[in-house]
Structures are given as structure tokens and as C-alpha cells.
Amino acid sequence: MRCIAIALQRVMANGAGYFHNILLRRVTYFYLKGLIAQRLSGLEYY
């Protein structure tokens, strides 16, 4: 029973790390996209 709990905990930790990684990548991607869009629109205005 204890082994199962430990294994489950490990899987949960791995899953959380995996999802966190994806989230971080998405956020960075959108942030960079926003920056580039801002730069481009700034160039258009000037």
C-alpha cells in the first residue's frame, strides 16, 4: 500500500512538472509574440 502511494506521488510530481513546462513554454511564446507584434506596430506608426 505504501509503495503505491509513493509511486502515485512520483507520477503526480512528474505530471505537474510536465504541465508546468508546457505552460511556461506557452507563456514565453505568447510573450515573445506580443513583443514582436508591438515592435512591428511601432515601426508602422513611425
To the nearest 10°, report the CA torsion of 23, 25, 30, 34: 140
Distance CA 45, CA 23 (A): 33
- Give me 18's grid cell: 510536465
Mean pLDDT of 21-41: 90
What pTM was estimated for this model as a whole? 0.51
pLDDT tier at 13, thresholds 50, 70, 90? confident
CA 43, 38, 34: angle at the middle one, nearest 5?
Answer: 150
SS3 content of the chain, % helix, strand, coil (to 5): 95, 0, 5
- Mean pLDDT to the nearest integer, 20-29: 91
